[in-house]
Amino acid sequence: MTDAYDALETRDPAVREAALMAALPAQVAHAQAATTAFAQRLAGVDAAGVVDRQALARLPVTRKHELLAAQRAADRPDAFGGFSAIGWQGLRAPRGARRVFQSPGPIYEPEGEAGDYWRLARALHAAGFRRGELIHNSFSYHLTPAGSMMETAAHALGCTVFAGGVGNTELQLQAMAELRPHGYIGTPSFLRILLEKAAETGQALDSVGKALVSGEACPPSLRHWFGERGVAAFQCYATADLGLIAYETAAREGLVLDEGVIVEIVRPGTGEPVPEGEVGELVVTTLNPDYPLIRFGTGDLSAVLPGPCPTGRSNTRIRGWMGRADQTAKVRGMFVHPSQVAEVLRRHPGLGRGRLVVSGEMANDRMTLQVETAGPADGLAARIADTLRDITKLRGDVELRAPGTLPNDGKVIDDLRKLD
């Protein structure tokens, strides 16, 4: 499982970065020309000048709630809110979509003609799946794309797929016992249900030696539980909008980024990249020409891990899913957003991390902005408090902290109030 899927995985990092940055201007230009949404969002942007990460960071972040709003707008240009470059007759798209899916929201996603459209074959290969094997796929084939995402990847590897889908535990268990698949694809929770049910009923699932799980967390304790039952479970991080973002390898040290995306980690509520190693929101630019999402905010928190993967894969590694970036809180009838905390810090140069702690009880709550600073403290707390009130319209205390004393967990608003 340490052999690479292709030569892209082991190329020199500088070569990879140069290739990604070389592809970036054309993708930005394509998004502007082929989609009405990015024609508006990136109006006035010279795509030819977006040649590095600094230029990319100056472009706006598009978040899922904006995608949903565009799709549901009364004057929407099409069912995809103007973000897709493919569609069907009547959508003014030059090329056709092969399938359309619906994720919770509802949000509609297109699937193009490319083989392994979501690029998940790379994650399957890292999990040990190989040509000629039978895979039991327990992701949904109904409405959402997860089942198709995995099946097309398995076909790209040359594997055979049993389309189990979700539910019908007894029938799926029977199929696994009789067909004896080499591996499983699905959520870790359903794999556990299957293994527990098999143990209860005396059915052997000893053919299943590996699994690629996604859709929910698979902590080390659960991975160890699978291992005790002979199943080597690997995780991948993918979304219906972007496809594969990162995948686990045999090294079990974080997740390696996919080769078809440009990933930034930004301060929650902003589009500003954070220093390497600091927790922030994952923002992804995909090189998919059919659905050219530029700086798409996933809403998920993660951080970059230092150094390369011991398996020889040379791409950047991330720590995996570390929570959600949207930490909006309602204080005394007013919504307070992470972007407002970021704006307070921005107005006072030289500050480090900041964390707004909301404590007390509902209707009797307190706001305290904890701020890291190495500079002179004379009157600084009062000035920051004035800015906090100006931006949020709420009064709050300010605590000055030494640099590096606030936790590196991506949390910008920490709501400690009792809700009951």
**Cα 262 to Cα 18, 42, 252, distances in angstroms:** 12, 18, 22
Give the pLDDT confidence score for residue 420 in this predicted structure.
46
For the chain, the domain total comes to: 1
**Overall average pLDDT of the 209-223 stretch:** 92
Which of 52-61, 99-108, 330-339 has the highest mean predicted lDDT (pLDDT)?
Answer: 52-61
Give domain status of residue 259, yes or no. no
Is residue 287 a contact partner of residue 45, using CB atoms and an 8 Å limit?
Answer: no
Give domain status of residue 77, yes or no. no
3-state helix, strand, coil in the chain (%, to 5): 30, 25, 45
Give the pLDDT confidence score for residue 103 in this predicted structure.
87
> What is the C-alpha to C-alpha distance for residues 46 and 28, in angstroms, rounded to an integer?
9
Judged by average pLDDT, the poorest of 39-53, 270-284, 372-386, 406-420 is 406-420
Residues paired with 213 in a beta bridge: 186, 235
Give domain status of residue 363, yes or no. yes
**Overall average pLDDT of the 389-395 stretch:** 90
pLDDT digits (tens, 9 = 90+) for 277-336: 999 999 999 999 999 999 999 989 999 999 999 999 999 999 988 888 878 787 876 778
Predicted confidence (pLDDT) at residue 1 exceeds the cutoff of 60: no
Tokens of 308: 């390369």
How crowded is residue 141: how many other Cβ atoms within 10 Å of its Cβ? 17
**Overall average pLDDT of the 65-85 stretch:** 87
Q: What phi and psi values does residue 83 have, to the nearest 5 degrees?
A: -95, -15
Give domain status of residue 258, yes or no. no
Give domain status of residue 81, yes or no. no
Q: Which residues are CB-neighbours of 2 under 8 A, at least 6 positions away? A: 249, 250, 311, 312
Predicted confidence (pLDDT) at residue 142 exceeds the cutoff of 50: yes
> What is the C-alpha to C-alpha distance for residues 280 and 323, in angstroms, rounded to an integer?
10
Tokens of 121: 């074959």
SS3 28: helix
Is residue 159 a contact partner of residue 133, using CB atoms and an 8 Å limit?
Answer: yes
- 269: confidence class by pLDDT, cuts 50, 70, 90: confident
Whichever domain contains 335, its CATH number is 3.30.300.30
Neighbouring C-alpha atoms within 13 Å toward the C-beta of 76: 17
Q: What phi and psi values does residue 20 have, to the nearest 5 degrees?
A: -65, -45
- 363: confidence class by pLDDT, cuts 50, 70, 90: low
Give the pLDDT confidence score for residue 419 in this predicted structure.
53
Share of the chain above pLDDT 90, in %: 75
Domain range for 347: 329-415
Is residue 78 a contact partner of residue 91, using CB atoms and an 8 Å limit?
Answer: yes
**Overall average pLDDT of the 170-185 stretch:** 96
Give domain status of residue 20, yes or no. no
Share of the chain above pLDDT 70, in %: 97
Is residue 175 a contact partner of residue 162, using CB atoms and an 8 Å limit?
Answer: yes
